[in-house]
A and B are shown apart, each in its own frame.
Chain A
Amino acid sequence: DQVLHIVPETFQQVQYLQLLYSTLMLDLWKPLLPEDIRAGEDLHVRIPAPLVQEVKDSLDQHMISYRVLIPDVQKLVDQSMPRERSSHRQVSGGYVYTEYHPMEEIYQWMTQIQKNNSELVTQHFLGKTFENQTMYYLQISQPSNNTKKIIWMDCGIHAREWISPAFCQWFVKEILQNYKSDPKISRFLQNLDLYVLPVLNIDGYIYSWENDRLWRKNRSPYGNGTCYGTDLNRNFNSSWGSAGVSFNCSSDVFCGSGPESEPETRAVAQFIRSKKSDILCYLTIHSYGQLILTPYGSTTKPPSNNEELIKVAQEAAAALTGKYGTSYRVGSTASILYSNSGSSRDWVHTIGIPFSYTFELRDTGTHGFVLPANQIQPTCEETM
């Protein structure tokens, strides 16, 4: 719905607007009564969304100029009222998934999630960060006699991409809220286990809350503490150091002192190596760009199962677009974005895991990394 601001210039225009008001039953905000519409005076009227284009076309036809006073009435309403929390209560006692949360609250959330859903969820130690924070992943697994294949998803490898951990939390909530009622999800869980790492780069994430919102790397010191941070997504052992990196610590794509030089990288790599024969699909969530990226970044030579990788990604992108019309591009990092080496997604594929994707969530640069919290819900819903 939109609110338009119109200043009718002639009596004919006033009459026309009065007619429009009564035929379409519009909502007059100023003046309150149609008989008080006057030439030369401000008119504010709310137009329901389905009629907006028609009304604008009609105004244009009648040479009546207008300005959009409020482009989205619902948005303004939502901003002034806190959202209902009750639907999330069962899953984890009132946690608000439509806000960004600092690391401390995410730790508490993980504990609560396991407590409230202990038949399905277990929290596991993965490793420690440079600053000695504990990395946990959640395992969502339906008890069964057969061993199941694994889908791994990690979020927050880059600190400033806040929508990414927000998505991991949303994802867990959605699965747990709906696995009994949604046949697709329950069939899913009969055959697959989900492993979710809500924040991979914990030190960096905390730093982006407390010091620098646009920090990207981890927080390990180099050069005798004169410089901080390795880009964890350049630190994996896939053509390490060969493309799209810097060997200078002050760069945002510094690849570290060697492959897997960083504790966070090692924690993930060791785990994935140990489970590699059971992992079917690896997903790593980033922002921004609205992309589903396939291997590789360091070369344009396609991976062996490229056709299948692309086909699946295109179907995912189509399903995503179907929700709110958000368009995603699909392709290899090297062709869509830039050259890079040492990414987790590429490394995972080279050790034999067939499906490996990087998601770059909303948006395409309008807000970039500082995506407004009111986009968390639509972003997560479409990505689900």
Chain B
Amino acid sequence: ELPPSHFPASRAAAVAVGYLRYLRGGPGRGLDLRALRRARRQDIDDVGHNYYLELELEDILDKDRTVNCTAEVLYHLGSKTSAPDVQVTLQGELWSTEEADKEFYNRIRSLEKELVAENIPDSHGRVPPELEPIRLLAWAASGYVIWQNSTENTKFHLAQVKHVKQVKRSDEDLQFDYVVLLHEMVSQELLPWEVTLLWHPQRGARVARDRRQPRHA
């Protein structure tokens, strides 16, 4: 049993939230961690450390909407290259965002010029309402990167969307090329990361391509 307020449990919780944001996030749905209720750790010989978590999540767009879930985060032993295995079970249905998704999809598809934006939120923490869905898709995109790159010695949060560019496609997906800034709590570093996100109202979000941006002086 682990104290939920201490860092080993809270780092694992951040991985679970990243994973869930990727899996279930969208332009109309942003999931945030409201509370980590309980945490347990199991050391499995020759495999790794398995964290079992009980979480309460809330909808960033409507804080009254919450959902409980359990998650398992397995960090593989001694591996710097493999992502933790994550499983999440929601206790209850997630609210539907079908209409908001459809509206957003149609709006973007009907744009004459491809959408381009930067610094979301801006220095003062502001996000223009029409860019809120773009920001929530960035949560999904960075959720993937956070899940794939976390270890027991890291804790990532999305600090800011540096840049986003829509790329029009001949198929039905929307494509957004993001540069996101990930804040890593332990080293305090800001890591710029390029992520190409595809999204479709029925098919959801998928990361097509991602890479850490090489450092310039």
Contact = CB atoms under 8 A, between A and B. Distances in A.
Q: Do A and B come from one complex?
A: yes
Contact of B7 (A56, A335, A368): A335
Interface in B115-165: 119, 121-126, 157-160
Contacts of B123: 100, 209, 213, 370
B32 A366 contact: yes
Interface stretch (A63-71, A171-179, A268-276): A63-71
A151 interface: no
Contacts of B185: 337-338
B174 interface: no
A349 interface: no
Interface range on chain A (Cβ under 8 Å from partner): 35 or more
Contacts of A365: 14, 33, 157-158
A5 B160 CA distance: 30
Interface string A353-384: 00000000000111111111111000000000
B63 interface: yes
Interface string B69-111: 0000000000000000000000000001101100000000000
Interface residues of B, number: 37
B6 A372 contact: no
A338 B125 contact: no
Contact of A375 (B6, B125, B160): B125
Contact of A71 (B14, B63, B100, B124): B63
Contacts, number: 88
A15 interface: no
Contact of A372 (B5, B7, B121): B121
A146 B214 CA distance: 60
B164 to A, nearest CB: 16
B62 interface: yes
Contacts of B160: 213-214, 368, 370
A214 B181 contact: yes
A52 B188 contact: no
A336 B7 contact: yes
Interface in A68-115: 68, 71, 99-100
10 contacts: A214-B159, A214-B181, A214-B183, A337-B7, A337-B185, A367-B121, A368-B159, A369-B159, A370-B122, A370-B159
Given A214-B160, A226-B217, A369-B183, 4 more contacts: A2-B62, A213-B160, A370-B122, A373-B124
Interface of A: 2, 5, 52-53, 56, 65, 67-68, 71, 99-100, 209, 213-214, 216, 226, 231, 244, 246, 251-253, 327, 329-331, 335-338, 364-375
**Top 9 nearest A-B pairs by Cβ distance?**
A372-B125, A365-B157, A252-B188, A329-B5, A370-B125, A68-B62, A71-B62, A213-B123, A338-B186
